[in-house]
């Protein structure tokens, strides 16, 4: 009985990192570009960057990449992420097949507010 309990605990510890959204480690300011590849905004405040990452990390995986798929924004964190502001879908830009994640409705609103925080006129090239 003790061995089953121990096995269950060990299994949960090993499998738990597999749940949830992508794990992202930013390297500095976050540049968000629109579909035309022009800068929509730059997030420089740690609280804004942390809020964006928290939204992404709460996202649920919905499957692998399927082409053709369009995304409204490109988000430069440590890697470039593709994000659609209407569907709340997120995917790492890569040559290989990558999982697609979907944000909750409340997280979509948070990300929209972060993108709109600075108008394109206020944004600058990094």
Mean pLDDT check: name the lowest of 21-35, 43-57, 93-107, 112-126. 112-126
The span from the CA of 1 to the CA of 28, in Å, is 49
Rounded-to-integer distance, Cα 39 and Cα 120, Å: 6
| pLDDT tens track for 12-61 | 434 434 446 777 776 789 999 998 999 999 999 999 999 999 999 999 99
The whole-chain average pLDDT of the chain stands at 80
- For residue 56, how many other CB atoms are within 10 A of its CB? 22
pLDDT of amino acid 118: 64
Q: Rounded to a whole number, what is the distance in angstroms from the first to the last CA of the chain? A: 58
State yes or no: pLDDT of 3 exceeds 90: no
- Supply the pTM of this predicted model: 0.73
């Amino acid at each position: 009985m003790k061995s089953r309990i121990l096995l269950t605990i060990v299994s949960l510890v090993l499998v738990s990192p597999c749940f949830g959204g992508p794990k992202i480690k930013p390297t500095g300011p976050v540049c968000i570009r629109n579909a035309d590849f022009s800068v929509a905004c730059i997030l420089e405040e740690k609280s804004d960057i942390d809020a964006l990452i928290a939204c992404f990390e709460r996202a649920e995986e919905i499957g692998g990449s399927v082409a053709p798929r369009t995304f409204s924004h490109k988000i430069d964190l440590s890697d470039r992420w593709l994000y659609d502001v209407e569907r709340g879908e997120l995917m790492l830009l890569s040559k290989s097949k990558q999982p697609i994640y979907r944000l909750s409705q409340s997280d979509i609103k948070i990300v929209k507010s972060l993108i709109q925080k600075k108008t394109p006129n206020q944004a600058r090239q990094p």
